[in-house]
Structure 1
Amino acid sequence: MIRIAIPNKGRLHDPTVSLLREAGLPVLEGGTRKLFAKTTDPEITYLFARAADIPEYVQDGAADVGVTGLDLIHETKSDVEVLLDLNFGRAGLVLAVPEEATISSANELNGMRVATEFPNITEDYFKNQGIDIEIIKVSGACEMTPHVGIADAIVDISSSGTTLVTNHLKMIDKVFSSSVQLIANKESMQKNGKIEQIRTALESVLRAKGKRYLMMNVPTASLETVKKVLPGMAGPTIMKVESDDSVLAVHAVVDAATIFATVDELKNAGARDVLVVPIERMMP
């Protein structure tokens, strides 16, 4: 039995559940109020947990696999196997000071107080630069601490910078970049090959995002021109059309971002009956 720990709430919950569903492992008979949930695979169950607790759950073997932020993995210093960047939940830990402060670099904070929910990452950041600061550990509302005299600066999560602006703070440096990762217990990895199947399934969904499958009919005389338009992953697939020897069926995988321009170029090159199809999964 494989137990996968996933965030029970917050900004990481819905994208995680959605990605797992696309990979063929939807949550069944469960919800955020339950501790466990079944999947379509009888050998795989979900464990709902706080994202901050998941690295240690996986390290200690309470879960075999987990989905959580890279920042939380580093903050807890958990000894886990990082299997795959899931490419969502991107955010950064930033060093910020009040807007009116004259401080413009980390070096100027020597001997001062820095408030954060990430004391280990913050300590490593300043230690690597040889800067001596006092860390004030907080569990929330970090952005308020400089304004009430608790700290001179903060290290906090920022994805868009809106919170900093709202609280009259300015960023002076990036401390750490994070995104959501698939992790595994190291012993479980050695014992159970199904974990690699889970990784491959999720990777196949990620590879398919941003790609589209093009199908079209192309007159034989226009084939070379059409091939120049198509930037397919391994070149287009070309097949005969049984009902018309003068026409070929051409298939290719292209970037979704280029679809609008590509389809127009293909039609100008002689392609017709162009179909654009979404791709659910792409296996390496």
Structure 2
Amino acid sequence: SADGDDLVDLLDLGYGSCKLVLAAPEDGDVAAVEDLAGRTVATEFPNVTRDYLDRVGVDADVVTVTGATELTPHVDMADAIVDITSTGTTLKVNRLAVIDDVLDSSVRLFARPDVVDDPKVEQVLTAFESVLAADGRRYLMMNAPKDRLDDVKDVIPGLGGPTVMDVEADENGNGMVAVHAVVDERDVFETISELRSVGATGILVTEIERLVE
């Protein structure tokens, strides 16, 4: 096994984000971390809290609790708390104000230093990266008149530009091209409208399972 300090942080997986914060009663006299000197902090994370207090140079007592941390200042168990928050709702409900951020947290992929370059680890990393890269993107396919291709490219620059392939001419003998591109899903409907205005037809939108950039 490897100590946490020795692990290599490979990738933030983009979910489970939260913060560990120092908070105190809104109507109390703790407005800054320095105000906690000689006082008590309640937390479910005593080691992290002690490291934080050492880092900021404040000597305070740390009390370990196993739940309902946000209630401890209101029952005279502590002057402040260190606890996890994602939306801040629980803190607000309990009339607690954030004094300082202790650390940010999210789900991440780590590896031991001695296996970082292992092909299997690289495969796992690529698999995760490809899913994250595809998130929020859509794949567009369409036909467009060849003489309007520049207009189409102006609408969908894509990843390094759209992919363009010649196809059979339409019933009027006009040259046509098939155009494929990756776009942001937030722009899909606006993009489709603009593409139709420059002559694109048969527009197909699909989800992307993985995208290796």
Q: When the two structures are superposed, what TM-score results if normalisation uses the length of structure 1?
A: 0.68
How far the C-alpha of 1:243 sits from its partner, in A, is 4.5
Instruction: Report if the CA contact (8 A) 2:169-2:175 is conserved.
Output: no
2:36 to 101, 105, 109: 109
**AA at the equivalent of 1:207:** A
- 1:201 lines up with 2:127 in the alignment: yes
Instruction: Give CA-to-partner distance per residue, 1:219-244, whole Å, 9 cap, x none.
Output: 12221111111131110111101354
1:236 to 162, 179, 188: 162
How far the C-alpha of 1:125 sits from its partner, in A, is 2.5
* Within-5 A mapping of 1:184-199: 184-189=111-116, 192-199=118-125
Which protein has greater RCO, CA pairs closer than 8 Å, 6+ apart? 2
How far the C-alpha of 1:187 sits from its partner, in A, is 4.1
**AA at the equivalent of 2:19:** G
- 1:59 lines up with 2:18 in the alignment: no
How far the C-alpha of 1:118 sits from its partner, in A, is 1.9
Counterpart secondary structure, 1:275: strand
- The count of aligned residue pairs is 210
Counterpart secondary structure, 1:59: coil
Alignment partner, residue 196 of structure 2: 267
Distance in structure 2 (CA, Å) of the matches to 1:260 and 1:96: 44
Distance in structure 2 (CA, Å) of the matches to 1:218 and 1:126: 63
How far the C-alpha of 1:114 sits from its partner, in A, is 1.0
Distance in structure 2 (CA, Å) of the matches to 1:229 and 1:127: 55
1:168 to 92, 95, 100: 95
How far the C-alpha of 1:140 sits from its partner, in A, is 2.1
Gaps of 5+ in 2: none
Alignment partner, residue 248 of structure 1: 177
How far the C-alpha of 1:275 sits from its partner, in A, is 0.8
Instruction: Give CA-to-partner distance per residue, 1:17-57, whole Å, 9 cap, x none.
Output: xxxxxxxxxxxxxxxxxxxxxxxxxxxxxxxxxxxxxxxxx
- 1:183 lines up with 2:110 in the alignment: yes
Gaps of 5+ in 1: 1-57, 61-76
**AA at the equivalent of 2:183:** V
Alignment partner, residue 96 of structure 1: 23
Percent of aligned pairs sharing the same letter: 50
- 1:134 lines up with 2:64 in the alignment: no
Counterpart secondary structure, 2:62: strand
Q: When the two structures are superposed, what TM-score results if normalisation uses the length of structure 2?
A: 0.89
**AA at the equivalent of 2:208:** I
Alignment partner, residue 208 of structure 2: 279
2:144 to 218, 226, 229: 218
Distance in structure 1 (CA, Å) of the matches to 2:37 and 2:193: 59
Counterpart secondary structure, 2:6: coil
Superposed CA RMSD in Å reads 1.9
Distance in structure 2 (CA, Å) of the matches to 1:222 and 1:193: 45
Q: 1:180 to 1:275 in 2, by over 3 A?
A: same
Instruction: Give CA-to-partner distance per residue, 1:41-90, whole Å, 9 cap, x none.
Output: xxxxxxxxxxxxxxxxx537xxxxxxxxxxxxxxxx55323221110001
